[in-house]
Amino acid sequence: MNPAMAGLLGAISGALVTGSATTIGPLLLQRHKDRAEGHQRSKEETAKKVDLVNDVGVQCRAWLLYLSRSLQDRQAGSPATLAEFDEKGEGLRTAAERALAQAANAGYALSNSGLADALRALEDQVRVALLLPAHTEDLTQLHTQASSYFTPREVVTLRMLDEVLHDRPPTDPTSGTVFERRFLA
């Protein structure tokens, strides 16, 4: 082969390799950067959902705990006044209702769920128990009902956390609990 032709082929080959490297290198770098950013966004989204789910658990527990303790105080003969109950209960209910509504951002429709309805109904029953003279048996039964909500409420929260952390689509976390809504066919 002619030395001039070999030099020309070498120069062309070098230009192709250099051109490929200057084109492919940045493309690979950009793809790697896009994947890393996507992974970071996914982690941030999961963290936000975990915060929303945890907030539901914390706020609903605080509300339920207040209702349960109000009943205990009533049974012990030292109930809060209705005004005190309403004032503190409103703040806890509002925080829980806000957390239940925000859960929609994690894919859970809990604002009008059996969980929300059960807590609202319990609050109404506790309020009536504070307002009217109640029999010890009625208070005990109502307190037992309130106490029975702690574990299923925790189950609901744990189900949501499990789905969020394992990147599974949201399901009805109240299914199989006392909060599940059963519609007649």
Q: Are 63 and 97 in contact (CB under 8 A)?
A: no
Percent helix, strand and coil across the chain, each rounded to 5? 80, 0, 20
pLDDT at 43 over 70: yes
Which percentage of the chain shows pLDDT scores above 90? 60
Mean pLDDT of 106-116: 92
pTM surpassing 0.85? no
Alpha carbon distance 139, 125 (integer Å): 10
pLDDT at 47 over 50: yes
Q: Phi and psi (nearest 5°) for 26?
A: -65, -35
Position with higher pLDDT, 84 vs 35: 84
Alpha carbon distance 176, 88 (integer Å): 31
State how far the alpha carbon of 33 is from the alpha carbons of 19, 25, 29, 51, 72, in Å: 22, 12, 6, 27, 58
Q: Which amino acid is at 55?
A: D
| Residue 185: per-residue pLDDT | 45
Position with higher pLDDT, 134 vs 51: 51
Tens of pLDDT, residue by residue over 130-167, are 888 767 788 889 999 999 999 999 999 999 999 999 99
Tens of pLDDT, residue by residue over 91-107, are 999 999 999 999 999 99
Position with higher pLDDT, 133 vs 172: 172
Q: Which H/E stretch holds residue 178?
A: none
pLDDT at 85 over 80: yes
Alpha carbon distance 32, 38 (integer Å): 10
